[in-house]
Amino acid sequence: MNEAVKIVEVGPRDGLQNEKQPIDVDTKVGLVERLVAAGVTHIEAASFVSPRWVPQMAGSSEVMQRVPRTPGVHYSALAPNLKGLEAAMAAGCEEVAVFGAASESFSQRNINCSIRESLERFRSVVEVAHENKLRVRGYVSCVLGCPYEGPIAPDKVVDVAMMLSDMGCSEISLGDTIGRGNPKSTRLMLEACMKRIPVAQLAGHYHDTYGLAVANIVASLDMGVRTFDSSVSGLGGCPYAVGASGNVATEDVVYLLQSLDCETGIDLKKLIEAGSFICVALGRETSSRVARAMAGN
């Protein structure tokens, strides 16, 4: 392929938000430092949501203030409303992400409002963010299935993705929140989105619950997607999507992309070290098959 592919590392946010055990700020910053050392250039490092809803993200301001400001490294953080945006700006974020859903039930459970209300909120977030020269990324969750409603029609994904794009989100990340997608459903969903939104603006955010995330990435690459979200060691899950496992492991994505001659700028060995740092801190095995294979297990 010989093409550049952008990896958005979401481990410090999506990867850690669902952890029940306390993780201190030193550990979170230590993870980000190691990711940067491995050559990762786009990192979702924090989340300015209600600490009552997601206690693990409570130290986000301090994390953002302490991450290394290395030239060429871009950080973003979730901001569901103006309060979150204000906190993100105060902590020095240059990019925030609003997060909506293609499923009404998931929207209610995750952000306590309807899809319509969420989009109104996001419009104000985007306006104020742009006034302050921040970029805004837009997520659509449940693009390949909802934990409460089951299958989701591609048209519903397109509607929300279009609204986010029209209000000024620079990138639309399509979230298979519960990892129910397969290459066929991924293709159908992308085909629908690509009729209305340039593929260069789309990102794949695939959780790996059923082990098909890498296959879904291959299907997406074939359709021209060149941005993927992933989580080192395959950490993570959404607290409001019970049973969903982590994102596809960044190590596995980098290994796949190397095999296809795609350039990511990431050093796989150092990335595995970053993964092993956070796994030791959490006292668990990696979920990356590549990391396990390269360790000889």
Which of 146, 238, 262, 279 is labelled catalytic?
Answer: 238
Measured in degrees and rounded to the nearest 5, phi and psi for residue 249 equal -70, 135
Q: How far is the CB of 261 from ligand HMG (least distance, A)?
A: 28
Q: Tell me which residues touch Mg ion (CB under 5 A).
A: 14
Between 169 and 272, whose beta carbon lies closer to ligand HMG?
169
Selected range binding ligand HMG among 50-58, 67-75, 156-164, 214-222, rule: CB under 6 A: 50-58
240 binds ligand HMG (CB under 6 A): yes
49 binds ligand HMG (CB under 6 A): yes
Measured in degrees and rounded to the nearest 5, phi and psi for residue 284 equal -145, 165
Selected range binding ligand HMG among 107-115, 159-167, 248-256, 271-279, rule: CB under 6 A: 107-115
Residue 44 partner contact from ligand HMG, Mg ion, none using kind-dependent CB cut-offs of 5 to 8 Å:
none
Between 231 and 288, whose beta carbon lies closer to ligand HMG?
231
Residue 75 partner contact from ligand HMG, Mg ion, none using kind-dependent CB cut-offs of 5 to 8 Å:
none
Residue 49 partner contact from ligand HMG, Mg ion, none using kind-dependent CB cut-offs of 5 to 8 Å:
ligand HMG
Q: How far is the CB of 178 from ligand HMG (least distance, A)?
A: 8
146 catalytic per annotation: no
Q: Are strands 202-206 and 6-9 parallel, antiparallel or unpaired?
A: unpaired
- Interaction with ligand HMG in 109-168: which residues (CB under 6 A)? 110-112, 139, 141
Q: How far is the CB of 96 from ligand HMG (least distance, A)?
A: 11
Among 29, 221, 238, 291, binds ligand HMG (CB under 6 A): 238
Q: What is the DSSP string of the chain?
A: ---B-EEEE-IIIIITTT--S---HHHHHHHHHHHHHTT--EEEEEE-S-TTT-GGGTTHHHHHHHS---TT-EEEEE--SHHHHHHHHHTT-SEEEEEEES-HHHHHHHHSS-HHHHHHHHHHHHHHHHHTT-EEEEEEE-TT-BTTTB---HHHHHHHHHHHHHTT-SEEEEEETT----HHHHHHHHHHHHTTS-GGGEEEEEB-TTS-HHHHHHHHHHTT--EEEEBGGG----TTSTT---BPBHHHHHHHHHHTT-B----HHHHHHHHHHHHHHHT-----HHHHHHTT-
- Residue 119 token pair: 């989009």
Residue the block writes with tokens 């590392």: 9
171 binds ligand HMG (CB under 6 A): no
Q: How far is the CB of 177 from Mg ion (least distance, A)?
A: 6
- C-alpha radius of gyration, the chain, whole number: 17
Selected range binding ligand HMG among 19-27, 46-54, 153-161, 192-200, rule: CB under 6 A: 46-54
Residue 42: half-sphere exposure toward Cβ, Cα within 13 Å: 18
Among 27, 48, 59, 231, binds ligand HMG (CB under 6 A): 48
Looking at beta carbons, which residue is closest to ligand HMG? Answer: 175
| Interacting residues toward ligand HMG by CB under 6 A | 14, 17, 47-50, 53-54, 78, 80-81, 83-84, 99, 110-112, 139, 141, 175, 177, 205, 207, 238-240
Residues assigned a catalytic role: 238
